[in-house]
Amino acid sequence: MANTVIINGDNRKFTINPEIKRYALIDAGFTKTKRGNFMYKHPLYNESPYNATCQLKLTINEDLDHLTMVVTDTNGLQKVNIFKNKQLAPMVELLNFILKDLEDRQIIAPC
């Protein structure tokens, strides 16, 4: 986990918003893990979320001061760069929408 993260293939940097609140995480769809961290998973899909080939995984530690953010395959085992293929533009659009929503909820902030 780090203070500043970059998604594979993207040039934007994100950090945890200093105004973050625990209830905002739960409202946004984060779930609490056994270790007390907050995890967010969202499929990046074109037509159906059941056929999604990639997903966004975001984890914030229980102290709300470190995070990880990565786009992975559906198994969550390998990082995927959705920015290098123009056919994946709808996935990039959905990713941008999710990141904007998390910024609006004061969970993450651009650096």
> Would you state the pLDDT for residue 1?
61
Sign of CA dihedral 72, 14, 90, 87: negative
Q: What domains can you pick out in the chain, each with its CATH number?
A: 2-108 (3.30.1820.10)
Is the pTM for the entire model greater than 0.75? yes
> Would you state the pLDDT for residue 75?
86
Could you tell me the strand order of the sheet in which 4-5 lies?
Answer: 4-5, 14-16, 108-110
> Would you state the pLDDT for residue 17?
95
- pLDDT of the chain along its 111 residues, tens only? 668 999 999 999 999 999 999 999 999 999 999 999 999 999 998 677 677 889 999 999 999 999 999 999 988 889 999 999 888 899 999 999 999 999 999 999 999
